[in-house]
Structure 1
Amino acid sequence: MPHMCTSGVRRSWLLKEACHRHWLSIAAQVGRRPSEFRDISGARIFASVVACILDGDAARFREDDMCQLFMVEVPSAQTGWRSQFVLTSGTKTLGVEILTSYARRNGPSNSELGAPELFERFRDERDHAAARRAGLIRRIGRHDRELAVRDEAPPHITFEINEDAHLNGVGLVYFAHIHDMIERAERNAVPEYVGTYPMRNRRAHFYGNLDVGDRLEITARARARSLSPNPSVVVHSHARRASDGQVIACAESIYAR
């Protein structure tokens, strides 16, 4: 049961499944296999995840539940390459949003990813009404990164990047693995909250990538969002690349009874 863990639906499984369908939807619209995506210069380009949002309580799902996964918003230039999925089982729901942008390699290192020269079919329509939410998510991500860059607190936990465990088929560290690392850092930093309250929402942003052997250093801070009778805690996390100190991911997670 790769989609389950002891506490419910495995959130990283849902992210992987949603992103796989997101990617296939883009390929179908463009009329090319993913391996054939090229920019104007002929360089290969990738649909790189820049943000994901999980909404709902994964712990409500159980081993014998019959579930369905629906795509309720299709990624397209008009939506800013944002998609939305909902996993349901009866009245239980767990939603996931994926926002992607295009990136290309500018050298052998994953830290050298850059913006490609895009053909028209790959460019997002940022002035389109359906792309407004994608634009908002991007702005929040830039704001979160600016705050994280100024934070000089030491990390709560460090992960070394492993080829077999963390890379995807094109040699990049997969965003869902970074999401898992952030979740472990939250538990490490504030176990009394993360272990007691279910996670209700997480918004994560991704700004870069890492090479095998580099380390991801994650700092997490918690504060009370509300008190009795309905306590909740918000945890802000940011992850730095140890090799150069660059912030490559941020997250905000809400845990509530």
Structure 2
Amino acid sequence: MNLRLAPPAFDPPSLAAGAVESEIAFRLGMPQLSLAGLSETWLLKELGHRHWMLLAQMAGRDRPDFRDTDGAPVYAAFCALSVAHASFAALGENDAVVIRSHLRRISRTQCASRHVVLRDGRAMGEVELVSAFVRRGAGGGNHSVARVALDGFPAPPAGVSLGLPQRAAQLRAGRLSRHFGFDLDGPGGEARFEIDPCPAQDFNGAGFLYFSSFIAFIDRAEWHFDGRSASRATTRAREVFFHGNVDPGERLAVRWRAARRGEGVLTHHCRLERVSDGVCLADAFTERSV
């Protein structure tokens, strides 16, 4: 496979005031692997858990049980993710890997974590996750979540957060006109692939369609539209911006808006929509080795 070379070594970030970090080791086996190397779905689930545990650590708690002033549960909903410098196909059975993570607060309601996967001290991929604290509205469903600020965390830094948080804010505000080489203002393709999420497989314990399921649906759509020519496609880079969620029993559609092929590379822009009302749930930009 034509893989993007990983950085020569892990460059540990300098921790900002109030930031926290952790490190965990794994011996890769079948739960952590896919047909094409390290399982991105497994990795994202693990990193979502790391992010959640680091939030508790940042707040000085032994477990991440967050509640608002009325006692209602508060969750960290992911609003953006980035995968970069990924060489997941180079990882295989019995490889020993380390995941180094650090989390920082970026606003009153948002936190961002960065995770680096290392083998023998060499970075094999980086993942960034941006989350916002949310609670359900009076109706209790997944259509009516609202951001909330929590006490007990270090003060957010002054100024604008750059990088992934900034791109997410620009896209939500309609100020991002191009991304991954795609024109975001154009009509885009109309091909769509409908999915009926399974409550037993695709929703998390908080009752939300889990962020890793969005990625799995994007890969299923890629397989539907373009995958027969590349059964071992693997992610080189990916950015996903989350806008909404669904309740159990609701269908969603992955719209195949645009795609291009280069030598050994497939890049595409997908949009996930709620079938019942057409609301946009996520925009996903993916670069894959094929």
Structure 2: any 5+ residue segments left out of the alignment?
A: 1-29, 178-182
Q: Is the 8 A contact 1:88 1:94 kept in 2?
A: yes
**Structure 1 Cα separation of the partners of residues 191 and 145 of structure 2:** 25
- Relative to the length of structure 1, the TM-score reads 0.84
Paired with 1:137 and 1:145, the residues of 2 have a C-alpha distance of: 7
Query: How far apart are residue 13 of structure 1 and its match?
Result: 0.8
In the TM superposition, residue 203 of structure 1 has moved relative to its aligned partner by 0.5
Deviation at 1:166, TM superposition (A): 1.1
Q: Residue 27 of structure 1: which of 43, 51, 56 is its match? A: 56
Give the CA RMSD over aligned residues.
2.9
Aligned pairs for 1:147-166 (under 5 A) are 151=187, 153-166=189-202
Cα distance, 1:63 vs structure 2: 0.9
> Shift of the alpha carbon at 1:39?
2.5
Return the match for 1:127 from 158, 163, 168: 158
**2:7 is the alignment partner of 1:2:** no
Which residue of 15, 19, 40 corresponds with 1:11? 40
Paired residue for 1:70? 100
Q: What amino acid does structure 2 have at the position aligned with 1:190?
A: D
Q: CA deviation at 1:34?
A: 2.4
CA contact (8 A) 1:156 1:189 kept: no
211-220 or 55-64, which deviates more: 55-64
For residues 185 and 90 of structure 2, what CA distance do their matches in structure 1 show?
36
1:216 aligns with 2:252: yes
Residues 199-239 of structure 1 show CA distances to partners (whole Å, capped at 9, x for unaligned) of 210111111111111011001244336x4xx5533200000
Deviation at 1:192, TM superposition (A): 5.7
TM-fit CA distance, 1:196: 6.7
- Percent of counterpart pairs with the same letter? 26
Q: How much has 1:128 moved relative to structure 2? A: 4.1
Going by fraction, where is helix more abundant, 1 or 2? 1
Contact 1:45 1:102 in 2 (8 A): yes
2:134 alignment counterpart: 103
Shift of 1:148: 7.0
Query: 1:83 corresponds to which residue?
Result: 113
Q: 1:189 to 1:159 in 2, by over 3 A?
A: same
Which of the numbers 279, 286, 289 marks the counterpart of 1:246? 279
Unaligned runs of 5+ in 1: none
Measure the CA separation in 2 of the matches of 1:74 and 1:26. 8
Amino acid at match of 1:132: L
Partner secondary structure for residue 132 of structure 1? coil
Using the alignment, how far apart are the partners of 1:202 and 1:134 within structure 2?
11
TM-score, length-scaled by structure 2:
0.76
CA contact (8 A) 1:217 1:239 kept: yes
Counterpart in the other structure of 2:240: 204
Checking the alignment, whether the CA contact within 8 Å between 1:236 and 1:252 is kept in structure 2 is yes
Tell me by how many angstroms 1:256 deviates.
4.0
In the alignment of these two chains, the number of paired residues is 250
For the residues of structure 2 that align with 1:45 and 1:145, how far apart are their CA atoms? Answer: 30
| Secondary structure, aligned partner of 1:204 | strand
